[in-house]
Each structure stands twice: as C-alpha cells, then as structure tokens.
Amino acid sequence: MARTAISIDHIARIEGHGNVRLVIEDGQVLTCQMEVVEPARLFESMVVGRPFDEVPYVASRICGICSSSHVVTDLRAIEAALDVRVTDRTAALRELLVYGSFLQNHATHLFVFSAPDFLGHRSVFPLADENPALFDKALGMKALGNELCTAVGGRSVHPITAVVGGFTSEITPAEYRALADKMDAMADFAVEAVDLFDGFEVPAIETAGDMLAMVAPGRYPVCDSDAARFVRAGYDFNCAQVEEEVEEYPVGHSAAFLARARRTGSPYMTAALARVNASWDALSQRARYAAAKAGLRPPELNPLMNNLAQAVELVDVLDRCAALCRRLADDAFEGSSAPAAFEVRAGEGVGFTEAPRGALFHRLAIDREGRVIRANILTPTAQNVANLEADMRLLAEKLVGEGRSEAAIRLEVEKLVRAYDPCLSCSVH
C-alpha cells in the first residue's frame, strides 16, 4: 500500500497562519484540508456597543494589506444605514484608495509571495542579486501602491483620512499630476509582469466551483456597485441579500467559517480571476491586450491563473489611477470631498467592495444613538477556503495520477494555495 502524507505547517509567504494536510493512499486522496489556524480576534463582537464612526477604524485592523478595502466597505455600510450620499469626488478618491491596495497587494503577492516558487527560491531576496532590475521594479511597483495609499489615505497601511461622508484631507493638484505620471511610467513594467507570469508553467486544472465578483454594466467596478454575480451559474444578487445567497458554515479544522452559494450549494472562488471573468470587456485597452496575448480570456477556470489575472489587473489599475488622478487635479468631479453632513439614526446597511483578494461584505446595524448593535463580516478568503480545498484535491489527484513525486506534489500544492492569495488573518478576523 502506497501512502503519502503531506503536511505543511505554517505555510510560508501567505498572509496569516495556515497548515495543509494531505493524505494520499494508493492513488486516492483521502484527506485534503486547508487548516486555518489564525488566532481569532472576534472583530464582530468587539465593535458591538461602540460608536458607529469607530467601526471603520477598528475593522481596518482586520488586515494590514487590505486595510483600505475594509475601511471603504465599512463606510459604505454606515452610509447605507444612515442614508449618507457622497459626492463623485469622494467616490473617485475611494476608488483610488482601493486601487492603491490592489497595487500593494498584487505587487507583494506576485513578486514577494508567488514568484519565488517559479524561480526556484525560498524568498524574494535572492532575486536582488540574480535579477536586480526585476527586483527593483517589483519593489518599485509595491512602493507606488504605498505612495498612492499614502497620498490618498495619509499612510500606506490603515488609512487616516477616509471618514463617513468624505475625506479629512487631500493632496494638491500638482501632487495628483505627479502621481499620474508615475502610474504611466510604471505601466510598461506591469505589461512585463503579465509576460513574466505567462511564462510560468502551471498544471492544467479546472475548478468545479463557481466564481463571484462585483458587476456593473459596461464597467469593471471595485467599490461603487451593489450587484454581485455568480459568474458560472449566471445570476446576480444585491449585496443587501448576501446572507440569503451565501451560506457560512463552520468546520473543525478552520478558525474561519467556510462558504458556499445557497442556490447551487457550490463552493466558489472570489479573486482577480473572478473579476476578469466577470468584466473582461471593461478592462483598460492595454490590460485587455496584455491578457489576450497571455491567453487569459473568459471563461478561465484554472485557479492557478489568478496570478496572471492579478498581473493583468496591475496594468488596468495603473491606467485607471492615472486617469482618476488627472481628473482630480482638473477638478473634473462634481462636489468636494469634505465630509458630508448627516443625521445619526437607527439603521442597517451592507457595504460591498472588491478587495484585492475578492468580494468583501460588511453588514452593520446601528441603534438610534449611533451605537453598533450587530456586525457581520464576510471576507474573500473565508469565501475561498472551501473552493481552495476542492481544487487542492483535484490538483493532488491529477499529480498522483501522473506519478509525480511527493516533493513535486508538495510544491504544486503550495503554489495553488499561494495562487489563491489567501489572507488568513482576514478570514478569521
């Protein structure tokens, strides 16, 4: 009897703490688990009873890498609950803030976390000697994301200026124009990144699960639509119905709840790949060309292609941010970003954004005094874990069938986990 047990404790180069347990016997995958062992911080309980305007500040601390997304999501939940309308200028700034976290996240994930696997390294640091030009440009891309978050949010992690109804501070038109120029200057490297990841070979697998992304007609939305789409099943729902559409369920080996679509019972992936599948036509021209050249077109069901989808998004995000910065400099958006006035009242709302790693939902219920009664947070990684496990099983079965060595299976499984870009601190929160 041939038995292979692959155990990876605290898998490296991901955000948070997770273990992989894989047992294969006579070509059969018996156990396949992604153990999420991240400490529970209990954010949903922590914010109950606290003033509503503290919640974005507290929820930001769920995750350092997508702190902007948690803040914007909470602001949208509060504004839905209190019926606060924001100006186009504020909406544009929020988009920039979310895109800033896309640049930070995708650059970190692609080059610091993922690329070392394909280049035969244990970390990104050997690249500094081996290919200093690539190393410098990769860190330059990440630094540009930090710079964008700092320009709009006041610092690279946990934004300061984004509050209910608007922003407390803005940079000058000249600074917006300088940022736009930097975005343009980085675009060639983003296209190179698409080519680089296109050159990395990945096993051909197809997820059986669905894909979930925010949608809006003719656009590639990230923080200004309430519509979510299950791309494969082909139906949309409003974010206010998220609990009716998505079932969260506990399993013993994960500190995060897992998730599946209620209507189909299917696990699903939410990520850059889901967004590209949902809104490919609305990518910037340069991003679409780069994607097409790399053969990334919907429907793309190989989860390992999420790396490539993130690289395509880098191109798209740079194009969009340059345009947004120039329009902000020209004062082309209606209204000011100064926080809008509003009345505190009882209410409930759901905030929905596309975080770098996928769909993020926050529900908040607020009492008359503006205190939080109830909070529910559904993060991209919590939604992804069930699908990741299913894909891991698929991948392991394929590789076992091909007679691959234990070491090879182990590496490919790690690559798959990283391709999902899990944020386990987010998933447990």
Position 340 contacts other proteins (CB under 8 A): no
Helix (H, G, I), strand (E, B) or coil at 428: helix
Give CA–CA dist 65/50, Å, rounded: 24
Pairing mode, strands 227-230 and 28-36: unpaired
Choose among 35, 50, 82: nearest CA to 339. Answer: 82
Position 12 contacts other proteins (CB under 8 A): yes
Are 58 and 149 contacting, i.e. CB atoms less than 8 angstroms apart? no
**What DSSP state is assigned to residue 61?**
G
In angstroms, give the least distance from the CB of 355 to other proteins. 13
Q: Which residue, 288 or 418, has its beta carbon nearer to other proteins? A: 418
Position 123 contacts other proteins (CB under 8 A): yes
Are 241 and 230 contacting, i.e. CB atoms less than 8 angstroms apart? no
Position 54 contacts other proteins (CB under 8 A): yes
Position 51 contacts other proteins (CB under 8 A): yes
Position 37 contacts other proteins (CB under 8 A): yes
Position 91 contacts other proteins (CB under 8 A): no
Position 45 contacts other proteins (CB under 8 A): yes
Position 58 contacts other proteins (CB under 8 A): yes
Position 276 contacts other proteins (CB under 8 A): no
Position 69 contacts other proteins (CB under 8 A): no
- 166: β partners: 163
Kindly indicate which of the ranges 54-62, 183-191, 227-235, 350-358 contains the residues binding other proteins, using the contact rule CB under 8 A. 54-62
Give CA–CA dist 235/244, Å, rounded: 14
Kindly indicate which of the ranges 51-59, 172-180, 265-273, 274-282 contains the residues binding other proteins, using the contact rule CB under 8 A. 51-59
Q: What sign has the CA pseudo-torsion 146, 151, 157, 163?
A: negative
Kindly indicate which of the ranges 137-145, 182-190, 197-205, 303-311 contains the residues binding other proteins, using the contact rule CB under 8 A. 137-145
Helix (H, G, I), strand (E, B) or coil at 19: strand
Q: Which x/- pattern, by CB under 8 A, does the window 209-228 give for other proteins?
A: --------------------
Give CA–CA dist 154/147, Å, rounded: 9
Q: Which residue, 37 or 282, has its beta carbon nearer to other proteins? A: 37
Largest CA distance in the chain: 71
Q: Which residue, 271 or 426, has its beta carbon nearer to other proteins? A: 426
Position 125 contacts other proteins (CB under 8 A): yes
In angstroms, give the least distance from the CB of 116 to other proteins. 8
Strand locations in 295-403, DSSP E? 347-355, 358-366, 372-378
Give the ranges where 229-305 is alpha helix by DSSP (H): 242-245, 272-279, 285-293
Q: Which x/- pattern, by CB under 8 A, does the window 153-192 give for other proteins?
A: -xxxxx-xx-x----xx-----------------------
Position 13 contacts other proteins (CB under 8 A): yes
Give CA–CA dist 297/282, Å, rounded: 12
Choose among 61, 85, 67: nearest CA to 166. Answer: 85
Kindly indicate which of the ranges 5-13, 85-93, 194-202, 309-317 contains the residues binding other proteins, using the contact rule CB under 8 A. 5-13
Q: Which residue, 238 or 376, has its beta carbon nearer to other proteins? A: 376
Kindly indicate which of the ranges 121-129, 190-198, 238-246, 262-270 contains the residues binding other proteins, using the contact rule CB under 8 A. 121-129
Q: Roughly what angle, to the nearest 10 degrees, separates helices 306-329 and 88-107?
A: 140
Hey, which residues between 278 and 337 contact other proteins (CB under 8 A)?
none
| One residue of 76, 142, 229, 363 binding other proteins per CB under 8 A | 142
In angstroms, give the least distance from the CB of 220 to other proteins. 26
Position 15 contacts other proteins (CB under 8 A): yes
Q: Burial letters for 308-329: b for 16+ Cβ neighbours within 10 Å, e otherwise?
A: bbbbbbbbbbbbbbbebbbbbb
In angstroms, give the least distance from the CB of 123 to other proteins. 4
CA distances from residue 111 to 105, 137, 139, 356, 410 in whole angstroms, order as listed: 10, 10, 8, 15, 20
Residue with tokens 């000249």: 174
Q: Which residue, 221 or 267, has its beta carbon nearer to other proteins? A: 267
Chain residues binding other proteins by CB under 8 A are: 10, 12-13, 15-17, 35-42, 44-46, 50-51, 54, 57-58, 60-65, 67, 108, 112, 116, 122-125, 128, 139-140, 142-143, 146, 154-158, 160-161, 163, 168-169, 250-255, 425, 428
